[in-house]
């Protein structure tokens, strides 16, 4: 700006320098020059046009032109200064024919729908439900010009945003997204349920009326990001029904009485970098025994929960769909000692879930009739443990390896069987091994032991270690003796998880035995 001004002053005619002793005209010159600079910036005029302006006519003509430009230029400058460059831009809004109200956005403008422009109250003192719904409806009706890039029957909104502008908004009923839309984001603020919010609702609902339930998917690529949801103990946080490729990112969901997040049907809902808790606490809450609700309820397939903390609820994550993965999840919801569960796998016979690199903090894992389940590299603190629960007596393709368990020497097994509904009868490809344990009892499907003595029989008891009672599928042993003779020896018995080796002659010997419960031939 300085160089341009200096260069421009060099273009002023000599007549102006002769009039430099006239303070009033000189003052008008600088004011007019400043206004001309602002007008040039706003209207996009180039420096070449600027030079032509000064080079035309005499000095008095230039002053008159500057005076004429002063008022409109100042008005435009004041308008521009009222717009923060960091504030997200809303769509260009055209006035109604009567000049009243907010109308459809200019389709050529940016599609960031700022909810305060629709009447939402960012202080949370008055109900903003209708205003936010209006913003959602306008975003959905705009169409976004995205074309047919999404699933058939789902309109591409082109990345439109419902922007909450850092406000705290009171809502009295669920914010229902219209079915059949995609490529939309809700971001940037807090939603809080009112005292009369329906207890069976969710603050944000991705669902469709029953009349349109025949569609394969109701939504695609909906993102809910950087928001806090306060359910006020009146309902749930977010419901995602028959949605495809949904992102829930950096959310904080509190005070729910049902589910923090419900995922039902659909595919590929990704929940990450989020915090969920029925009560605001950091552990050791005096009311922990009364925690209820579920942090995340996955009633669908192919979903992922990554880097999520559930700090208060009766159940941290309930999984009743297949092919889900949980990584980096920290559950310190209601402790197991108070009746809570960190992760509950409730899909008997078709689990197909991977739990990797998680942290179960005083609350453990329960899996009903698990089939194809992996739990690895996970930390169990405070006597937290894993329960395999028999429903139809099936456990197959289960891998529990390379985990850490830490307890208080209370004699608690790291993996337990719940066979109150009947024993496990189909046990195949189960591997519980290589877990390190402190202050708890190790349980495994693979064990090693030895027995030493001088005689004809050696017994190694694996009952305290093996997970399943009275089950040994494979035995590997070797007999080492200092005696010069070569007696015959053989495996005689494996009942009650005790391995008995016998020889046909008394000798001093040590027997080394490895057993495996996991594979049925």
How would you class 222 by CB atoms within 10 Å of its CB: exposed for 0-12, middle for 13-18, buried for 19 or more? Answer: buried
Q: Per the structure block, which two tokens stand in for 348?
A: 């008997």
Residue 127 to residues 124, 193, 204, 378: CA-CA distances in angstroms? 7, 10, 15, 44
DSSP letter for 98, please: T
pLDDT at 146: 59
CA–CA separation, 108 and 94 (whole Å): 12
What b/e string do you get for 75-104 counting C-beta neighbours within 10 Å, with b at 16 or more?
ebbeeeeeeeeeeeebbebeeeeeeeebee
Kindly give the parts of the chain with pLDDT less than 70: 1-109, 143-147, 209-215, 520-521
Position of tokens 């990450």?
272
Distances (CA, A) of 265 to 68, 242, 257, 322, 482: 66, 5, 22, 11, 66
Please, how many CA atoms are within 13 Å of residue 35, restricted to the half-sphere of its CB? 20
Q: What angle do CA 208, 209, 210 make, to 5 degrees?
A: 115
Q: How far apart, in whole angstroms, are the C-alpha atoms of residue 215 and residue 55?
A: 68
Give the integer Cα–Cα distance in Å for 389 and 424: 9
Per-residue confidence (pLDDT) for residue 65, from 0 to 100: 55
* CA quadruple 184, 80, 53, 64: dihedral, nearest 10: 150
pTM: 0.79
pLDDT of residue 142: 76
State the pLDDT at residue 485.
82
> What pLDDT does 67 receive?
53
**Model confidence over 397-425: pLDDT tens digits?**
999 999 999 999 999 999 999 999 999 99
Task: Give, in order, the Cα–Cα distances in Å from 341 to each of 247, 345, 385, 496.
Answer: 25, 10, 10, 31
Could you tell me the CA-to-CA distances from 409 to 335, 439, 447, 463, 514 in Å, in that order? 17, 4, 21, 19, 27
């Amino acid at each position: 700006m300085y160089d341009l001004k200096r260069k421009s002053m060099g273009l002023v005619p000599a007549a102006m320098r002769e009039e430099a002793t006239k303070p009033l005209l000189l003052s008008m010159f600088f004011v007019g020059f400043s206004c001309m600079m602002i007008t040039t910036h706003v209207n996009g005029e180039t420096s070449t046009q600027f030079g032509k302006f000064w080079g035309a006519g005499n000095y008095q003509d230039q002053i008159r032109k500057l005076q004429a430009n002063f008022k409109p230029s100042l008005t435009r400058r004041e308008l521009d200064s009222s717009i923060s460059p960091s504030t997200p831009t809303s769509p260009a809004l055209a006035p109604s024919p009567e000049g009243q109200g907010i109308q459809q956005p200019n389709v050529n403008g940016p599609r960031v729908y700022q909810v305060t422009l629709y009447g939402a109250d960012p202080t949370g003192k008055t109900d903003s439900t209708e205003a936010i719904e209006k913003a959602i409806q306008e975003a959905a009706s705009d169409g976004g010009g995205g074309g047919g890039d999404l699933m058939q029957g789902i309109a591409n909104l082109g990345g439109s945003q419902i922007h909450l502008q850092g406000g705290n908004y009171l809502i009295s009923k669920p914010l229902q997204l219209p079915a059949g839309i995609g490529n939309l984001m809700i971001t940037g603020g807090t939603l809080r349920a009112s005292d009369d919010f329906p207890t069976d609702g969710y603050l944000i609902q991705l669902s469709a009326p029953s009349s349109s339930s025949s569609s394969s998917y109701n939504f695609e690529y909906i993102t809910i990001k950087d928001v806090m949801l306060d359910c006020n103990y009146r309902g749930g946080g977010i419901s995602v029904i028959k949605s495809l490729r949904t992102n829930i990112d950096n959310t904080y969901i509190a005070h729910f009485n049902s589910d923090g997040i419900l995922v039902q049907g659909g595919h590929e809902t990704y929940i990450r970098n989020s915090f969920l808790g029925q009560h605001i606490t950091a552990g050791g809450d005096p009311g922990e025994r009364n925690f209820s609700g579920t942090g995340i309820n996955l009633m669908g397939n192919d979903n992922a929960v990554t880097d999520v903390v559930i700090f208060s609820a009766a159940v941290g994550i309930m999984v009743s769909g297949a092919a889900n993965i949980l990584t980096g999840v920290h559950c310190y919801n209601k402790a197991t000692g108070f009746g809570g569960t960190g992760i509950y796998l409730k899909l008997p016979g078709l689990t197909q879930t991977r739990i990797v690199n998680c942290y179960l903090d005083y609350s453990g894992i329960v899996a009903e009739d698990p089939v194809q389940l992996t739990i690895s590299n996970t930390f169990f603190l405070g006597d937290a443990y894993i329960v395999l629960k028999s429903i139809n007596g099936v456990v197959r393709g289960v891998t529990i390896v390379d985990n850490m368990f830490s307890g208080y020497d209370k004699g608690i097994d790291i993996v337990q069987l719940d066979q109150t509904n009947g024993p496990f009868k189909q046990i195949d490809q189960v591997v519980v091994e290589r877990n390190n344990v402190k202050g708890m009892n190790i349980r495994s499907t693979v064990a090693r032991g030895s027995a030493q003595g001088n005689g004809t029989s050696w017994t190694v008891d694996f009952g305290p270690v093996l997970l399943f009672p009275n089950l040994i599928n494979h035995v590997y042993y070797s007999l080492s003796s200092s005696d010069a003779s070569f007696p015959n020896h053989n495996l005689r018995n494996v009942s009650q998880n005790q391995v008995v080796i016998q020889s046909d002659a008394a000798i001093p010997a040590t027997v080394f035995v490895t057993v495996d419960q996991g594979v049925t031939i």
